[in-house]
Amino acid sequence: LAKTTQPISMDSYEGQEVNITCSHNNIATNDYITWYQQFPSQGPRFIIQGYKTKVTNEVASLFIPADRKSSTLSLPRVSLSDTAVYYCLVGEGPMRFGAGTRLTVKP
Amino acid sequence: DAGVTQSPTHLIKTRGQQVTLRCSPKSGHDTVSWYQQALGQGPQFIFQYYEEEERQRGNFPDRFSGHQFPNYSSELNVNALLLGDSALYLCASSHDPDRATEAFFGQGTRLTVV
């Protein structure tokens, strides 16, 4: 399983764009990159998944460079309600979570 | 669609007792995974069930066991409870055990062992 590294915490202000980068140097050829969001006392929620280049949905964008050894989750114009823990996962089969990135959005 | 439902939402047990947690997967999903999440940590994978069989298991002792029923619902059993078993237990369902498909999580069961 590919090991992932992401910042422990990040702070931002309402209305800003937030970029969270995840490193996964030993990603395998068939591995997808998936991001989840978790609020306190709730289960994680799927945000976005990608394999290469760029993926965008109504919530976020995911940027993956050609070597796929890292990925960046981009949250446009965050609000206070985006305060949560964000997890980067790489691989197939059952998800293995790390500690995630605790994003705090301030007014 | 009710999504993933877990019961009970909260539970208090005494050390040494046994507990059973239940999970109903999202409609159309046949794969159920269980996770333990201690305060301030990420969810830790316990095991995954597919076709009523345990397919993969994380680094958890045999005190943790499970079952999947023909309707794809699942149970997590923990025997001889320890104080350290206090955590949020999460169930996730998906429709493919081998692919990194989108998984849906329940709200979890908060277990407190005293």
Chain A: residue nearest B91 by CA? A43
On chain A, the residues whose CB falls within 8 A of the CB of B92 are 43-44, 95
Is B20:B77 a contact under the CB 8 Å cutoff?
yes
b/e code A24-59 from CB counts within 10 Å (16+ = b): beebeeebbbbbbbbeeeebbbbbbbbeeeebeeee
Which tens digits make up the pLDDT trace of B12-58?
Answer: 999 999 999 999 999 999 999 999 999 999 999 999 999 999 999 99
Measured between CA atoms, how close is A27 to chain B, in angstroms?
14
Which tens digits make up the pLDDT trace of A5-47?
Answer: 999 999 999 999 999 999 999 999 989 999 999 999 899 999 9
Instruction: Order the strands of the A9-13 sheet from edge to edge.
Output: A9-13, A101-106, A84-90, A33-38, A45-50
Is B54:B36 a contact under the CB 8 Å cutoff?
no
Measured between CA atoms, how close is A13 to chain B, in angstroms?
23
**Is the minimum CB–CB distance between A95 and chain B shorter than 8 Å?**
yes
Which tens digits make up the pLDDT trace of A71-81?
Answer: 999 999 999 99
